[in-house]
Structure 1
Amino acid sequence: MNRRKLLTSAVQAGIAGAFRPASSLAQATDSKTSATSQLPSTPTGLIGDAATAAYFSPERLHQVLGTKELSAPRDVTVIAFNFPSWHPSPYMEEHFGKGWTEFDTLRNSRALFPGHTMPHFPLWGYYDESDPAWAAREIDLASTYGVDAWMIDWYWHDGLQFYQEQLERGLLKAPNRDKLKFAIMWANHDWKNVYPARSPDDAAILTPQRHSIQDFERVCNYCAEHYFSQSNYLTFNGAPVFGIFDAGKVVEQLGEDGLRRSLAVVRERAHKLGFPKLHLQVCNGFSKYQGRLHDLGFDSAVQYGTFGWTYGSKPPGSRIPYGTGAAEAVASWPELRKESQVPFHPTCSVGWDDSPRFGEFSCVATNRSPDQFERLVRAARHFVASSPHQKLIYLNAWNEWTEDGVLLPDTYWGYSYLEALRRAVKD
């Protein structure tokens, strides 16, 4: 099906037009006519005193941590979230056409203002991550630069699956697979057409998420059969790690008692299938239940991204310095640890910019850079040093090309973020 046929409003159609390649936007000129910029003015705070004040400098890092002496424990495990949309998948091809991947959305995106660095493109070229040879290349890269495991977004909608090909045909078939651990995070949200849309709220729902206790059991059956027994599956103290993206979505449909019973069913089913222990981790949507996570059945908590605007808490079209998000994230970790009833682990965001999906209505972390990211990871390493539990640092993300959360080499930063990560976790 043609992509434009899925856009459900005139607004979305208008945004799609705004994503035409630059060549189609150019106007004819002659020697008497000079071209004019089609970009708006530079956002406030991108340059000048405001930008300098917001930068996540060494001084600001020390200020938000309350110390100049940073702890640097060696026994830290680094886990990067992995968004596997970079290969053809039958479900997406059914909607958008043969061979479609989200790289098509990236290709059609454009800069929004002077100083806007997006879009970034893969330095190694466009790829099919379900190819075992490509998976092996990524595994080598991740393990070389300090990533110990991927937490892979996993899509299951009442038995309908997509994007599992990256894992099942790529990673698990790679000859060097045991160099990198992996775990599953059930991305249990509605699946929407954001390719592009005006905003997440305005995007058309392609496949809704419907939870039931019976479906939780089916999910456990599938994961136990296909993943938990794999030699490189991530375990905590011998228990396979299984993440659930949005606890709130389950509560919305089943209530708190339904969530509690669903997680109990998962544990019971896993035990019957040969896994006496299971580590259930909530990855988002738990603020209302923070003090009751253990009672509900979770073993730990992490946020998919700790930047405040990542989940829409900032107005559409916001342009906010990366340093502001980094400082807010670091400042939030102690409170999240204190209030959570289970161990809380910090997440370090590479950046945030979903303009390939939402155009001018996107929220953008301006002025991101490898040195600020390195300080954020060093802050997380310092934070987990005082943890009585496993010392885990999560990264957002390995390959979120259309949200500007990418550690893979790109055409703007090259290997700089990987080098920053290695320094931050290995020095």
Structure 2
Amino acid sequence: MDDRFLSRLRAAARMLVPGADDRAYLRAVRGSNLFDRQFYRSTNPRMHWLSSLFPERHYILRGEAMGLRPNPEFSPAAYLRGNPDLDPRAVRPFRHYVTHGLAEGRQTLDPVVDRNHIPLPAPRLRPIDLPQPPARFAVVVHLYYHEMWPEFAEILRRQTFDFDLFVTVVRFAEETDDVQAAIRADFPAAVVIDVPNQGRDILPFVTLVNAGALAPYATVCKLHTKRSPHRQDGDIWRRHLIDGILGDPDRVRHRLDRFLADGDAAFWVADGQHYKGTEWWGSNAARTENLMRRIECEADPSALSFPAGSIYWVKPVILDMVRGMALTPGDFDPEDSQVDGTTAHAMERALGYISRACGMTILQASDLDRIRPPHALPRPRLVTAFYLPQFHPVPQNDVWWGPGFTEWHNVTRARAIWPGHGQPALPSDLGFYDLRLTDTMAAQAKLARAHGIDAFCVYHYWFDGARILEAPIDNLLARPEVDFPFYLCWANESWRRNWDGLSGDVLMPQSYAPGFGAALAESLVPYFADPRYLRPDGTRPRFVIYRPEDMTDPAGAVAQMRQTWRDRGVGEVELGAVRFHIEGEHPVAADLFDFWVEMPPHGLVRDGQFLWGGRDGNRLPFDLPGNFDGLVYDYTTLSTRSTDAEYLAHLPARIIAGIMPGWDNTARRGPSAHIAYGANPGAFRRWLRDLCVERLPESYRGELFVNAWNEWAEKAVMEPSEQYGDAYLRVLAEVCTPAEDG
């Protein structure tokens, strides 16, 4: 046997059978209740599995001599420095503390060194501050230890991929100007930002995320000057973390290509940095749970899995979810040399739950050397989004709801029902628009087209010849230069005071007078004649009816429509209908229409899916106010049901698969709202990818329907929002636009 093996064997034997003095020390430690097993394991991840089983023994036999901490508030080296009356050759620091020092009130940590950092507010970034146009990749470096910049600069100079560099710098009076000059000398185009010494490397990174600075990039590399002073191997650990994601340039390029090609990969970390298991919680479980509820996700405490070390490559949808948390400096602890239990530590763990919510994985460096490129997802042949023209005043709404009423009045009055509930849901990039301005519709269409939406299905309000909310589409006809591909959906519900079309005072009835089918068809001819009106098969204009079962004689009405269009020279029309969740009074034969449109959440919600309401009581992990009498159901369960064989068996043939970004009509119904809990860009991404694999091959003409583009009062919205920016659009573009060449 060689000496190394014998040494290991003796160490294992001592671990299993400690000597008498070690046993006495062990009894003192256990009796003190001052040894934090979770903390010790989480801050020393490279312990041998045997040592991890017996962490107190590892500490007294090896850890104390290595300078490791038995709990966040005790440093053996600092204890000896702060208590010079103790002989370091004779005293075992933690043993002395638990037997004498605690009662004597002795110092256990080094005093916090004031590095004369300048108190600063969190920076506010403007688009003008950011790289234009952006590179494909971004690298973010957080500098607390300014003296380490040359190490990072050398690492970055070796890389062969193009990137934009962001450097956040904790400002110290005597050093900041010098280090900023050094950064700009090495990387003249770098965005360098002074930040306060708060939230470690996490708050500065969140600040960039919240400002939308990192949204344009295919993936982002996050680095920081990690020294981990509570660990003897802090510098070695940092170099391992960085080398795993930015080591040899050729290997980095190879791994980067594979990371990007794997649509299910959320993080790329160094080997050994994907932590799994409840032993890594430390004091962070409660804070992590609260963070996740900000984006309507639950953190199962028994399923902890996260990228450790805060040095990684990350995909943009993860950052979108972080933005959705709406974190501010007030959410982060003042800096006091904490090694556990802060918002920064909780965020590290929350990232693993975000990955899980998105249906994504954490890959270690060597995983990228082994995985095979995944199969490409099927892409829809046509993507349509329902479009609401409600956003402008009309005389009828002035009478019913008050002068100047538009949908925005409801939207802005919404209030959160529980802590973390994402209400009110407010627009960002397009603002509180007025759809009488056709230029707004042009901007909407440009944004939609860039992210994979081919056309809008615009609601058409026609009541026995009377029109309402017609101004946007009629103004569009007068502006032929505006690129706005569209077709119409007759929203044939009666208008009622409670907004659901099913109950409440009738404000504007649908009477279906004799001959209404021919009259409706006649009124549509001018729209069909517009060159922007969509003909998906190249010949037939498309028209959709929202509630065909409400018509007194569906087959007769459809026959009138078709004959009128033939008589007027339109020819055949591709006629579709929405698959509604409640069967109307006049059943419709499935073959009456050329196609059907699946419109989530209609038809997908069942009693057993209610988290609140129905027969189920409250299965949410928090209480709702006593005046809430609505329904809450699970978005992820609903999305899973959409590919379930039992559900699919009841759908008509020739149906277009549908998806929704969310559903929450709190803005319209207040405490009686129906809410899809857990709707966020990550869950939408997961549903969309599943839908492409499971449903697109059988979807009518390979199409996809989105409910909706701008139903703000129902939070079924693809437009950019204050909470998530343009995240939903970028998720859609990932699947519905041609793949970008590497």
TM-score (norm 2): 0.45
Q: Which of 251, 257, 260 in structure 1 is aligned with 2:555?
A: 260
> 2:465 maps to which residue?
159
- 1:243 is matched with 544
By how many angstroms is 1:339 displaced?
A: 4.7
Please give the per-residue CA displacement for 1:73-128, whole angstroms capped at 9, x wherever unaligned: 34620000011111112322233333210111112111111110111111132110
CA positional deviation for 1:216: 1.2
Q: Deviations over 1:140-180 (max 9, x none)?
A: 11111111000111111112211111211147626332xx4
- The 5 A counterparts of 1:217-232 are 217-224=518-525, 226-232=526-532
Spell out the pairing of 1:154-303 with structure 2 (5 A cutoff).
154-170=460-476, 173=479, 175-177=481-483, 180-194=484-498, 202-224=503-525, 226-237=526-537, 238-250=539-551, 254=552, 258-285=553-580, 292-294=589-591, 297-303=592-598
Question: Would the alpha carbon gap of residues 221 and 307 (structure 1) be closer, same or farther in structure 2, given more than 3 Å must change?
Answer: closer
Does 1:110 pair with 2:415?
yes
Letter in 1 for 2:426: F
Q: Rg: which structure is higher?
A: 2
Query: 1:345 is paired with a residue of what secondary structure?
Result: strand
Cα distance 1:161–1:201, how it changes in 2: closer, same or farther (>3 A)?
Answer: same
Mapped to 1, the partners of 2:588 and 2:505 lie a distance apart of 34
Identify the range of structure 1 (235-244 vs 393-402) with the bigger mean alpha-carbon deviation.
235-244
- Are the aligned partners of 2:661 and 2:717 in contact in 1 as well (CA < 8 Å)? yes
SS at match of 1:325: helix
SS of residue paired to 1:79: strand
Cα deviation per residue 1:253-272 (whole Å; 9 max; x = unaligned)? Answer: x2xxx211110111111011
Greater relative contact order structure (CA < 8 Å, 6+ sep): 1
**Residue 235 of structure 1 aligns to a residue in which SS?**
coil
Instruction: Find the counterpart in structure 2 of residue 65 from structure 1.
Output: none
Q: Distance in 1 between matches of 2:527 and 2:301?
A: 48
Q: 1:345 & 1:171 partners in 2: Cα distance?
A: 28
Cα shift at 1:200: 6.2
> Paired residue for 1:28?
none
SS at match of 2:643: helix
Report the count of equivalent residues.
Answer: 362
Partner of 1:133: 439
Structure 2 residue aligned with 1:23? none
User: How far does the alpha carbon of each residue in 1:43-83 deviate from its partner, in whole angstroms, 9 at most, with x for none?
Assistant: 9x9634399899765389xxxxxxx9776334620000011
Question: Aligned residue for 1:49?
Answer: 300
- Residue 130 of structure 1 contacts residue 170 of structure 1 at CA under 8 Å; is this kept in 2? no
1:321 aligns with 2:634: yes
Structure 2 counterpart of 1:119, from 404, 424, 429: 424
- Mapped contact 1:408–1:418 kept (Cα < 8 A): yes
DSSP-derived class of the 1:80 partner: strand
Q: Residues 292, 341 of structure 1: CA spacing in aligned structure 2 closer, same or farther, 3 A cutoff? A: farther
1:166 to 1:149, Cα distance in 2 relative to 1, 3 A: same
Whether the 8 Å contact between 2:549 and 2:587 is mirrored in structure 1 is no
Return 352-361 or 284-293, whichever deviates more.
284-293
Q: How far apart in 1 are the matches of 2:417 and 2:668?
A: 12
Q: Note closer, same or farther for the CA distance 1:50–1:425 as it changes in structure 2 (3 Å cut).
A: farther
CA change 1:414–1:311 in 2 (3 A) is: farther
166-175 or 72-81, which deviates more: 166-175
SS in 1 for 2:667: helix
1:216/1:265 contact within 8 Å kept:
yes
Identity %: 23
2:693 matched residue in structure 1 = 382
Q: In structure 1, what is the equivalent of residue 682 of structure 2? A: 371
2:435·2:472 contact (CA, 8 Å) conserved in 1?
A: yes
Partner of 1:392: 703
- The residue type paired with residue 522 of structure 2 is N
Take 2:694 and 2:654, find their aligned partners in 1: how far apart are those partners?
Answer: 13
Is the Cα–Cα contact under 8 Å of residues 685 and 732 in structure 2 kept in the other structure?
Answer: yes
Q: How many Å apart are 1:413 and its aligned residue?
A: 0.8
CA pair 50-266 structure 1, distance change in 2 beyond 3 A: farther
Contact 2:605 2:638 (8 Å CA) reproduced: no
Q: Using the TM superposition, name which of 400-409 and 166-175 deviates more.
A: 166-175
Preserved CA contact (<8 Å) 2:391 2:434: yes
Structure 1 residues 112 and 387 mapped into 2: Cα distance closer, same or farther (>3 Å)?
same
Match of 1:424 in 2: 735
Whichever residue aligns with residue 106 of structure 1, its letter is V
**C-alpha deviation, 1:325, in angstroms:** 1.7
The aligned residue for residue 36 of structure 2 is none
Unaligned runs of 5+ in 2: 1-292, 304-352, 362-372, 615-628
Unaligned 5+ segments in structure 1 are: 1-41, 61-67
Do 1:146 and 1:421's aligned partners in 2 also have CA atoms closer than 8 Å? yes
- 2:496 and 2:502 in contact (8 A); partners too: no
Confirm or deny: 8 A CA contact 1:293 1:340 kept in the other structure.
Answer: no
Cα distance in 2 for partners of 1:122, 1:248 equals: 34
Look up the match of 2:400: 95
Contact 2:580 2:599 (8 Å CA) reproduced: no
Query: TM-score, normalization: structure 1?
Result: 0.76
- Partner of 1:206, secondary structure, is strand
**In the alignment, what sits opposite 1:144?**
450
Structure 1 residues 108 and 309 mapped into 2: Cα distance closer, same or farther (>3 Å)?
Answer: farther
Corresponding letter in the other structure for 1:77: L
Moved more, 141-150 or 236-245: 236-245
- The separation in 2 between residues aligned to 1:388 and 1:341, in whole angstroms, is 11
- Which range is displaced more, 398-407 or 210-219? 210-219
Query: CA–CA distance in 2 between the matches of 1:78 and 1:100?
Result: 31
2:716 counterpart of 1:415:
no
Verify the 8 A CA contact 2:666 2:713 in the aligned structure 1: yes
Partners in 1 of 2:301 and 2:664 — Cα distance?
20
1:136 to partner: Cα distance: 1.1
Once the two structures are TM-superposed, the CA of residue 210 in structure 1 deviates from its matched residue by 1.4
CA distance in 1, matches of 2:302, 2:485: 39
Q: 1:82 aligns with which of 377, 387, 396?
A: 387
